[in-house]
Amino acid sequence: MSFRVLVVDDEPAIRAQLAESLEEAGFAAEVAADGNEALRLAESGAFDLCLSDIRMPSMSGLELLRRLGDVSPETSLILMTAFGGLETAVEALRLGAIDYLIKPFAHDELIAKVRRIADQRRVVRENRNLRRIADTATARQMIASSRAMLDVLEIVDRVASLPSHVLITGESGTGKDVVASAIHKRGNRSNAPFVPINCAAIPEALLESELFGHVKGAFTGAHESKEGLLKTAADGTIFLDELGDMPLAIQAKLLRAIESREIQPVGSTRRIPIQARVLAATNRDLRADIAAGRFREDLYYRLAVVEIRVPPLRERREDIPLLANHFVQKYARELGRPVRGIAREALRLLSGHSWPGNVRELSNAIERAVIFASGEEIEARDLPDLVRAASPRDPEFSRNLREAKIEFERAHILQVIADCGGNKRKAAKLLGLGVTSLYRKLGSPNSGAEPESL
């Protein structure tokens, strides 16, 4: 993609010469006779750079500089000013111009400046792309070290390449979205679309046309026909999030679509074949909803061919130190803060909290702590009050000495595991325990497995 320059000068000969020099040097150039024409071109043109004279009849270069920022903030500007206009040049830099040229100038000088700006642009763009790739990689990363989550991962791997529909259940914030995208990514449909839709967030009529599509004129406001997401997902995956909140009428239509592998857009008599695999998630107890007549039993059995239950965080506290450290790295990088780790006492509090909002709550607490932290480590005082107050007021807190000893032992073991970066063999050695008894004391069966990430 070539670097695009817009040349603005009221002198036809000058703007033509400048454009010619730029094109000879390998840039794409267009010309405008004044500020208004320049703004019009910039609106549609996606220019990287604007080279503008300062003194022009209808709009000054400074005014153009100001208005260009609104129309096309990505366009940098170099101002050309006559000899003696140094003060205006300085003013231009203050207003955001990237550079200036004093007339008359050698075209070589101009080309050198433009080339330097083009190089900077390229580096910034490349970095931005790299960052985006890194972000999606971490967005998909799934941290798991507890036996319970390793079991979840094992099922994910086993079902990923099968065509079976999967129902993912678990409290809010436990990582159901993460599990769904892991199933998609690890399966043989990973190059096909992954299409998520939140069934709770959309009114019934809209949800119907989102899922199945509609034809033009199907209802007031249907100016165009629209393809249903079940079709858009092609041979990929459709992820029905918050399935438990889907209205009964749509449940019926969805069941028919899944069984016949066909959908009928709203207002159409035509049936369209679909191939997408269906993943669904809910934080509701669907069996209770079935009993109460709020959810169709036949749809439940269709979708729950495989059911994956993502356990709440309080049932897998061993994951807390690793997750917390993962979020520290993530937010420190994103927010550009020099935070590297978590102090001992803070980690003890994190490990003891009951996390009713699960991993999402932990993630938010760490984000906040990364912002508040004054040093390289997150301290107890950087944590939300609820987390700090948790220990004694935790509903699970026990006054019984034997239980308190077990709790203390557990917290101590978790701390040492965290100090060892999650390495349980090393932690067991420091604690003077065998790996098996370490797992027993944590209340989960021995796996000896190392933390895993996707």
Ligand X SMILES: Nc1ncnc2c1ncn2[C@@H]1O[C@H](COP(=O)(O)OP(=O)(O)O)[C@@H](O)[C@H]1O
- Residue ranges binding ligand X (CB under 6 A): 141-144, 170, 172-178, 323, 326, 359-360, 363
Among Mg ion, ligand X, none, the one that 4 touches (CB under a kind-dependent 5 to 8 A) is none
Directed axis angle between helix 424-431 and helix 435-442, to 10°?
90
Kindly tell me which of 176 and 184 has the beta carbon lying closer to ligand X: 176
Residue 355 Cβ vs Mg ion, minimum distance, rounded to whole Å: 16
CB of 178 to Mg ion, least distance (A): 9
Asked whether 48 and 77 are in contact (CB, 8 A), the reply is no
Residue 25 or 359: which CB sits closer to ligand X?
Answer: 359
Q: For binding to Mg ion (CB under 5 A), which residues are involved? A: 176-177
Which tokens is 153 given? 């991962």
Pairwise CA distance, residues 27 & 2, whole Å: 6
**Beta carbon nearer to ligand X, 31 or 308:** 308
Residue spans of alpha helices (H) in 194-343: 204-212, 229-232, 248-260, 286-291, 297-303, 319-335
Task: Report the residue number, 64 or 149, with the smaller CB distance to ligand X.
Answer: 149
Instruction: Please say which residue, 76 or 174, places its beta carbon nearer to Mg ion.
Output: 174
Strand partners, 358: none
Distance in Å, CB of 121 to ligand X, minimum: 32
Shortest gap between Cβ of 363 and Mg ion (angstroms)? 13
**CB-nearest residue to ligand X:** 175
The answer to whether 74 and 121 have CB atoms below 8 angstroms apart is no
Closest separation in Å from C-beta 179 to Mg ion? 10
**What b/e string do you get for 36-56 counting C-beta neighbours within 10 Å, with b at 16 or more?**
eebbebbeebebbbbbbbbeb
Q: Considering the complex, state which of residue 120 and residue 138 has its C-beta at the smaller distance from ligand X.
A: 138
* Helix spans in 276-400 (H): 286-291, 297-303, 319-335, 344-352, 358-372, 385-393
Report the residue closest to Mg ion, judged by CB: 177
383 phi and psi angles, rounded to 5 deg:
-85, 155
d(CA 300, CA 290): 9
Name which of ligand X, Mg ion, none residue 363 binds, using a CB cut-off of 5 to 8 Å depending on partner kind: ligand X
Rounded Cα gap, residues 254 and 77, in angstroms? 55
Q: Cβ 137 to ligand X, closest distance in Å?
A: 12
Among ligand X, Mg ion, none, partner that 359 touches (CB below 5 to 8 angstroms by kind):
ligand X
CB of 150 to ligand X, least distance (A): 11
Q: What's the gap between Cα 105 and its chain centre?
A: 48
Judged by beta carbon, residue 280 or residue 390, the one nearer Mg ion is 280
Residues 6+ apart with CB under 8 A from 290: 296, 297, 300
Task: Return the one option of Mg ion, ligand X, none that residue 174 interacts with (CB less than 5 to 8 A, by type).
Answer: ligand X
d(CA 436, CA 395): 29
State the binding partner of 268 from ligand X, Mg ion, none, CB within 5 to 8 A by kind.
Answer: none
353, interface contact from ligand X, Mg ion, none, CB < 5-8 Å by kind: none
Chosen from Mg ion, ligand X, none, partner binding at 170 (C-beta under 5 to 8 Å by type): ligand X
Report the nearest approach of ligand X to the CB of residue 172 (Å): 5
Nearer to ligand X, 76 or 358 (CB): 358
